[in-house]
Chain A
Amino acid sequence: MPNIKESRKMIEVKDVTKEFDGVTALNGVSFKVNEGEVFAYLGPNGAGKTTTVSILATLLTPTSGKATVAGYDVTKNGMEVRRLIGYLPEDFGLYPTLTVYENLDFAAGLYRIAKEKREEKIRELLEFLDLWDRKDSKGATLSKGMKQKVGLAKALINDPKILFLDEPTSGLDPGMAREFLKLILRLKEKGRTIFMTTHLLARAEQVCDSMALINEGKILRTGKISDIKAELKSSTLEDIYFAVIGV
């Protein structure tokens, strides 16, 4: 049984490579995320962000290298990792013909939450996200922002220690993106470790403690945002991004 408190490292990726039919998507990727941190995983399209998240969420197996989540090896202990994490994919993962409540009830069932506890849990989450009055709306009838919130509720149904958010603000209008980032701050206050990929650098800067910058499958820079700013004499995350990517 891994000792999480001792290490305080909730995610550790060591020299991970992933190839698809001879094409290298990740090339010796290494970084770590501490408990309670909000971690920004930044990079241009096709850099390897979603591949990394998919490996950490046990959807893909690394070709080589090792990745652990809460001390568990994602390849060898996939089931243990899945019990501990919540995952919000870029496309929300909602069934359009099921209602909001049914979507969450199904998610709760997958995590083996007892029937009698589900209603209370779903109500708590939907009230937290201001969605209780939409519980009977079908997934297909929701706006993109609402789908995103329901997707987040699904990701939180098992009280995960670690939350993976893949482009959580992509496609949201500025108001909704801001509201969503406020939700992330509220989750951070509750002590969750959050790993998010995003393009919205200014917004990410408001909520993230540390970061990794990836391009063409390689990590270019990783560490505390404040340390990297000091090192590169940059005042914003956007400056860091362009200085490191070299655009």
Chain B
Amino acid sequence: MNSVIAEIGKKELKTTFRSKSIIIPLLMGIGIPLFAGLPVTLELAAEGSELIYAPLLFLQVLPAVIVTALVGLNAFSNEINWRTIKSLLVAPVSEKEIFIGKSLACIVTGLIVEACLAVIILILLPIAVDIPILIILMAIGPLLVMFATFIIIAVTSRFPSSAAAGVGAASFIPMMAIVAVFLLCFCLQMLLQMDPLAMQVMLALIIAALTFVTYFIATKWFNRERLVVGL
């Protein structure tokens, strides 16, 4: 990996997790969905219900996306509040490297949360793990973390002053986008009478395409001058 991207990602993780103000939102972001979703998921699994995939998706994805959004929300707002943004932008680093470096910290954090949740789910789930469940854990979850990351980094770099002012609404944008994707897929499933495997494959493919498109747009959107003028 490009050393500058790794440096930015490493710095981002250090500055984010040394700040005490992120601890409580992080614990709530993981804890609330976990405690709300886990009993329902286990109950449905024990009943052998076919409806298991929706709560499983919620349980696997929501905490990781919340954590990703929280880390991402701070990516540029901290730089602006600490007045470090100019020093970063004046270094011989391309706009794409800054974007990917910032995204890397969010993706790593989100994937760690996902991995922990996947282990918990696999240990506690009282049924055999089938392919749709594996697709949720191994493909849809990580893809959604990347999708959420690119959205939040793009939004906060495009509108830095609102992020710096602590407008937390920005952190809900990835969630809203993900809910919209889920609704679209569930409608398609009903319409096309798809089985769970086809549904999860379709969901994975749609999210992969959206992640790629979001990355492409976000890197085009990223602009040094806008970040400086936004100060």
Task: Enumerate chain A interface residues (CB-CB to B < 8 A).
Answer: 20, 54, 57-61, 79, 82-83, 85, 87, 89, 91-98, 102, 106-107, 109-112, 151, 154
Contacts and interface: CB of A to CB of B under 8 A. Distances in A.
B4 A87 contact: no
A211 to B, nearest CB: 23
Interface string B205-231: 000000000000000000011001100
A106 to B, nearest CB: 5
Given A109-B7, A110-B7, A112-B4, A89 B86 contact: yes
Interface of B: 3-4, 7-8, 11, 14-15, 18-19, 82-84, 86-94, 224-225, 228-229
Contacts, number: 77
B229 A82 contact: no
B191 to A, nearest CB: 47
A98 B82 contact: no
Contacts of A87: 86-87, 90
Contacts of B11: 95, 98, 106, 109
Nearest to A88: B87
A147 to B, nearest CB: 11
A20 B229 contact: yes
Contact of A93 (B4, B18, B84): B84
B7 A106 contact: yes
B96 to A, nearest CB: 12
Contact of B86 (A20, A93, A95, A98): A93
Contact of A59 (B4, B8, B83, B89): B89
Contacts of A109: 3-4, 7, 11
Given A20-B229, A89-B86, A112-B3, A95 B224 contact: no
B92 A60 contact: no
Contact of A94 (B18, B84, B94, B224): B84
A179 B92 CA distance: 30
B90 A59 contact: yes
A59 B93 CA distance: 12
Q: 4 nearest interchain CB pairs?
A: A93-B87, A109-B7, A91-B83, A110-B91
B165 to A, nearest CB: 17
Nearest to B7: A109
17 contacts: A60-B225, A82-B90, A83-B92, A89-B87, A93-B84, A93-B86, A93-B88, A95-B82, A97-B14, A107-B87, A107-B91, A109-B3, A110-B8, A110-B88, A110-B93, A111-B92, A154-B87
Contact of B94 (A20, A79, A106, A154): A79
Nearest to B95: A78
Contacts of A110: 4, 7-8, 88, 91-93
A105 B181 CA distance: 42
A11 to B, nearest CB: 15
A94 B85 CA distance: 10
Contacts of B18: 97-98
Nearest to B2: A112
B15 A95 contact: yes
Nearest to A106: B11
Contacts of B88: 93, 110
A93 B18 CA distance: 18
